[in-house]
Amino acid sequence: MDKPVAWTVAVAAVVIAVAATVLAARDWRSHVAPGLTTEYHAVVLVGGQAFFGRIENMQAENMVLNDVFYVQTRTNPETKQVSNVLVKRGQEAHGPDRMIINRQHVMLIEPVAEGSQISKLIAEQNKQK
pLDDT digits (tens, 9 = 90+) for 65-119: 999 999 999 999 999 899 888 999 988 888 888 999 999 999 999 999 999 999 9
Please count the other Cβ atoms lying within 10 Å of the Cβ belonging to residue 68.
Answer: 21
Q: What kind and span of H or E run contains 128?
A: none
Asked if residues 71 and 53 have their Cβ atoms less than 8 Å apart, the reply is no
- What pLDDT score was predicted for residue 49? 94
pLDDT at 10: 74
Q: What is the pLDDT of residues 29-73, one digit of tens each?
A: 555 566 778 999 999 999 999 999 999 988 888 999 999 999 999
Q: Which residue has the higher pLDDT, 43 or 26?
A: 43
